[in-house]
Amino acid sequence: MASVLVPLAQGCEELEAITVVDLLRRAGISVVTAGLDEKPVRASRGMVLVPDTTLDEALNQEYDMVVLPGGLPGADHLDGDPRIRGLLKDMAARDRYTAAICAAPKVLASTGLLEGKKVTSFPGVLDAFDGLDYRTDSVVQDGKLITSRGPGTAMDFALTLIENLVGKDRRDEVEAGLQRP
C-alpha cells in the first residue's frame, strides 16, 4: 500500500491539508499526518487539526510521498524546520515523490530541490528564487516533483497525487464519487 506523510505546521492552510488527506484516504492510500510538535495545529483560518502523530515519531517509517500543505505562516514553519528540510532532501535522493501546494513550494526551493524544475505556487511565493521553470497551471509535475497553486486547486492536486501513487483508474473512481462537473 502506498504511504504518504503530510506534515502539519501551525498556520497551515486547512483546505489544502484536509482535501489532500481526505482524497488520498478515499483512494486507499495510507496517510500519516504529523505535527511539528505535540500540540494540536491551529490552521490559518482558525480550524484546529489534531495530527495522527508527531514528526519525530513519523520519521521512524518510510514513505512513498511527502506532501506539504501551504498557508502562512504554516509554510514558514515548515521551511524553518531542519527535520523537514532533511526529509525532503532524503526523499529526493531516494527518488521518492515530493509535493507542495500554495506557499509550500518555497520550502522545496529553499532546500534546493526546484532548481531547473517545472513548478508552480501561489503567485509571488517563488519570485525570490532563480533557476525555476515557473508555470501558471493548476498542477505542475516534473518527474517526482508535484506542485500546485492554492486552495482552489487542492482537489486537482490531490487527484494528481492519487494518479501517481495508485494509477489513473483509482483516481477516476475517487473523482467519480466526488460528483465533480
How far, in whole angstroms, is CA 95 from its chain's centroid? 16
Nearest 5°: phi and psi at 139? -135, 135
How far separated are the first and last CA of the chain, in Å rounded? Answer: 29
Ranges of beta strands (E only) in 36-88 are: 41-42, 48-49, 53-54, 65-68
Active site residues: 102
Report how far apart, in Å, the C-alpha atoms of 122 and of each of 9, 59, 130 are: 18, 28, 16
- Residues 67, 100: contact at Cβ < 8 Å? yes
Q: Identify the burial level of 77 via C-beta atoms within 10 angstroms of its C-beta, where 0-12 means exposed, 13-18 middle and 19 or more buried.
A: buried
How far, in whole angstroms, is CA 69 from its chain's centroid? 5
